[in-house]
Structure 1
Amino acid sequence: MSTRTTAEPRWLDDREKDVWLALRRLVWGLTPAVDRQLTRDSQLSGPEYSVLATLSECPDGVLRSGTAAQELGWERSRLSHILRRMEAKGLIRRSCSADDARGQDVTLTEAGRAAIVDAAPGHVDFVRRIVFDPLTPEQQAVFGQACHRIAEAIAAAEGEAAGPAGCGDTGQ
């Protein structure tokens, strides 16, 4: 279903075009750069690191797969594929939820915890060097606000829920 109208498009002016192209270069360049750093330094992919980080932030290292998908902003099928690969590596374990047998819990294993503990220092250093060090504290604040506003606009345009469910949510 198209959302086009017969009204004249609101074309970007030169300043807006420069901002858009800078944002596009950032978005398209950031994920491959993160993946290269993680693979080089810890043999984890960016998605694997994201799953491990999300699980490690839960007190017991356990999260329902549906909640994890929400927190990560991923489709369940993408998460399922990544979890299958991570389970084969021994980084996580999947099991039927104790609260609801229809759901699936994802548990961080000792090997998974060791992998995130090993990978986190280098990754944080990388993030600091490419995101924070080039900016002043004032620029960081403005950039953070801009990122939040853009994310909110994306969520509103897609009709998504307001925020992540969190570790304590038992909903699928």
Structure 2
Amino acid sequence: MKWMAELEDLAETMETKAAAAAAVARLNLQLKTKETAAQVAIKKEKTFAATFPAPAPVAQLTPKTDLKNKCEAHNKSKTACLGAKCAWKGQKKDDGPCSPREAQVAEHLKQKDGGATAGTTEKCKGKPEPECTKAPECKWEGKECKDSSFLVDMKLALNMVAAFVAFLF
């Protein structure tokens, strides 16, 4: 009976298609679950990112570039370079690079900040070793007493970065 064999083939084809449809339905469900999880992660990331302040604008780096331009104007004369309180790095007196000194950059930044950094460095400067080691904000390094409060700020910043990176992964 030929029609019986054809009927069995059709039944088998229908079962195969039903199994394939079930597999497609399972895959669609998995995709929807992963899509929902991704949307939740994006919302969490946006909420977490909103808790951090915006990064400082690049314009704050201009004091160093202003000093650099001021010093580079004196590249043709060693005496003019030294007169502008810059560092002469040339071999000759009439031609060489003139660049700002680190102390000059730091002083310029203090003036730009309104002297905010001057108070922190002066707390510990000039203290003898016994007084320096007793003060919690000071640290004895080599032959001088230095302010160590920036280390606390650095540790806090590193902890925040570590928490942020851990959240991302």
Structure number with the higher helix fraction is 2
For normalisation by structure 1, the TM-score amounts to 0.29
Structure whose alpha-carbon radius of gyration is higher = 2
- TM-score, normalised with respect to structure 2: 0.30
Identify which of structures 1 and 2 has the higher relative contact order when contacts are C-alpha pairs closer than 8 Å and 6+ apart.
1
